[in-house]
Amino acid sequence: MDIEKISTAAGEYFEYHPNSSVWNGKSEKQQQSALKIAALDIENYLGGLKTDFTDPSLQNAVFEQALWIIIHENGYADNLAAESIDNIGSVSYRERSAAPGNADPSLLLSPRARTMADAYRRQCGITFYRG
C-alpha cells in the first residue's frame, strides 16, 4: 500500500464527510498511522483475501476504519462504567467482551468499514458469515 497515495485519497474522501473536522484535526503522522493500522484491520477481517487498496470499496473501508481508530484512539473511553471525583479518585471500566488478541475481527471494525469490506468481498465472489 502506497501510504502517500492513500493519504491523498483519504483527504479527498473526508473533504465532505460528516466527520471531516475529526480527520482534519489530526496531524498527517496520526492520519497515516491510522490508515496503516486500518489497512491491517481490513486485511485481517477479510481473512487472507487478496486486497487491492486501489478498489474504491476497499479504500473507503480503510478510510472509515482509520476514522474509527482515531475516534476510539484511547481504547478505554467506550468501556467507561463509572467515574467519581469527590475524593479525587475512582474510575472503573466494563470488561471488554473479548481480549484484542483473540477477538472476532468483525468486532474491531467500524460498522461502515465492515459494510464496505463486505461489498469488496462480494465483488470478489466470496461470501461467508461470522457468527
Where are the domains positioned within the chain? 3-123
Q: Say which DSSP state 96 is in.
A: P
**Is there a contact between 45 and 114 (Cβ–Cβ < 8 Å)?**
yes
3-state secondary structure of 81: strand
Provide the pLDDT for residue 10: 94
How many C-beta neighbours within 10 Å does residue 17 have?
A: 15
| Amino acid symbol at 58 | L
Does the pTM exceed 0.85?
A: no
- For the stretch 55-88, pLDDT in tens is 888 899 999 999 999 988 755 445 555 555 565 6
**Alpha-helix residue ranges (DSSP H) falling in 14-110:** 20-24, 28-45, 56-71
